A and B are shown apart, each in its own frame.
Chain A
Amino acid sequence: MITITDLEKYYATEEVRTIALNKLSFKVNEGEFVAIMGPSGCGKSTLLNILGLLDDPDGGSFVFNGIEVAGFNERKRADLRKHNIGFVFQSFNLIDELTVLENVELPLIYTGVKPAERKARVDAVLEKMQIMHRRKHFPQQLSGGQQQRVAVARAVVNNPKLILADEPTGNLDSSNGNEVMDLLTELNEAGTTIIMVTHSEHDAKYSHRIIRMLDGQKVTENVLSEYVSSK
């Protein structure tokens, strides 16, 4: 599904040029659950931004679903993004002015889904995430775990092929964190590809494969069983 080859990204200020991604290459197959780990500043988030088509690489190739997308303009990226990719963030990033229902409905509005179908799909996903009873609440009125469930609901409502999760449990206590990880696993089992950036070894265990990064490069790549046995 995703193939990146020699991917490069720089950040330049007036004096310093920082290399965020340094000729990074890897592949993610459809249906996989991949965890990306590494210390702060190793380029995880930059990578996720590029994979999510939020940012453009400075070099290398990025093939998404068989299409070379490096060099796509903003409009093309946006179009590809809204139909194929769902996002889950550490800080949830729900829109404060919208209710749970409206937050989840928003991607459907942007992709032009008809109101009746919108309602059905939102209801279904809220049921599934077990937050139907909270649909009229605003984000501030929910606990962290509930907010992240809403965020996951919003990410999957459009039935994306790929979910990108950036530290999805970073702001949650362990029991809420586990619930969210279970949710992601369920989605993955239902066929959605998941790429997750995390600091947590615990969360990484939910994945099939772990890519470890340092200074913008891939250091190791272990399939989960190998990882467990090497311990």
Chain B
Amino acid sequence: MLNIRDKGAEIWEGWNRPTRSTFVIGLIAVVMMLPYAGNFSFTNILNTPISSYQAVLVYPVGMFVLMALGLNIVVGKSGLLDLGYVAFFAIGAYTAAIMGTHFHWNTWECLPLGMALAMLSGVLLGLPTLRLRGDYLAIVTLGFGEIVRIVAVNNPSIGGPNGIANVPNPPKTLGVSFGLDHMESFFWVVVIMILLIIWMVRRFTARRPGRAWEAIRQDEDVAALMGVSTLKYKIWSFSIGAAIGGAAGVIFASKSMYVAPDMFSFNISVLILSCVVFGGMGNIWGVILGGTLLAYIPERIRFISNARQFVFGVALVLIMNIRPDGLLPRKKREKITKAGE
């Protein structure tokens, strides 16, 4: 069977530095132009019927990829099963909504606060619960995700079940306008955030935190015997993931201009986790592919209306049967490779 990941890596290894830079810049340019793809006859096959194509690119596609990358640090890199990831998304979105409507902060001012609050809640949740393992952690995080939503429903000062409307769009920045008729700007912001996260994750992976996460994922007890402070690194992983979820939430609120508790249901947590597992846990490119497909396909096949969810579900089950480690799984080093070869 063709191994896309290894084939890709092989081609990449064969390139010199200028070729690689050209390819990366070209690829980024192509991705940045995606919002306009719907306008041309030869690319308008990408167009989503019924929902606006440009809006779909931001939510769900961009947001799912962003959150899947964040969750991948928690689940894929350090092996902590988080079933309540949507909570951090909600905290970011509500931060933007409250600060934007009551205190007239703009989106860029809300962004660091939303990330910080999500991160803080990650630390507060992590301190007691990251001593738990496996299934227990999954249950507690699932509960946390629901608690955040239920608190929002029952708290009239943040709109209760009606949520908060009139969340401001981001202001015009560097000559770029944001708004309903400027969905492409939101997409660009999301792409830039995704690029930053890819860069950050790649740096972490090659360095000490990456090694520590890898050790914790493979065997937590042995990691401690190596002198790795397991609790510290688990909290780091958890809260970095949370901050990314919070950032996605801030952008989401300023894009949709409206937040309500039912946007942050358990469904979203499961879908994001599916993106990670479906694409290939632990591999950034797999996770990006998984997030893109899982967000885009349901929108693309909206024209078959009621059968949509059924077709999507069957396709998921089939693909997970054919590729149980995901579309682009992380590299498994079982093959014998001699040193120096």
The answer to whether A and B assemble together is: no
